[in-house]
Amino acid sequence: MLNQLILVGRLTSDPEVKILEDGRKVSEFVLAVQRTFKNIDGNYDTDFIKISVWEGLATAIEPYCTKGVMVAVKARIQSWKYDLPDERKLNMLEVIAERISYLSSSSKNDTKVSEESSEK
């Protein structure tokens, strides 16, 4: 079985860092990922994908991941199910980063190319 996702794009804003009640750290950011094909109008559409980064990797990316930085994200997809009123169910997907590679700095920041992983 395999649950692996590779995304390359730019951060749309600085990551939002949260410390949960149990002390765990999570950082969230939105990655703008341009599609590889043109739409009917001849333009490339862009998808905006929310990424969650946990614990050590969240701490490691803090000095480098800022708005405009281009990164490659190796991630997995995690699903959640919620029971709603009237016997309805809501299925949600979450993208969890496992490794982040810095591909370029933002225009206002001269960050060197480096790589961080949750595997440390």
pLDDT in tens, 27-61: 999 999 999 999 999 999 999 999 999 998 988 88
Which position has the higher pLDDT, 60 or 99? 99
- Give the chain's radius of gyration (CA, Å): 16
Enclosing domain of residue 18: 5-117
Structurally, the chain folds into a number of domains equal to: 1
**Share above pLDDT 90 across residues of the chain, in percent, rounded to a whole number:** 59
pTM: 0.77
- Is there a contact between 116 and 69 (Cβ–Cβ < 8 Å)? no
**pLDDT of 89 higher than 60:** yes
- Is there a contact between 16 and 29 (Cβ–Cβ < 8 Å)? yes
pLDDT at 108: 52
6-22 pLDDT tens trace: 999 999 999 999 999 99
**Share above pLDDT 70 across residues of the chain, in percent, rounded to a whole number:** 87
CATH of the domain at 39: 2.40.50.140
Pairing of strands 16-19, 88-104: unpaired
- Is there a contact between 98 and 117 (Cβ–Cβ < 8 Å)? yes
Which residue is listed with tokens 């980063």?
A: 97
Alpha helix (H) ranges present in the chain? 55-61
Rounded Cα distance, 77 and 79, in Å: 7
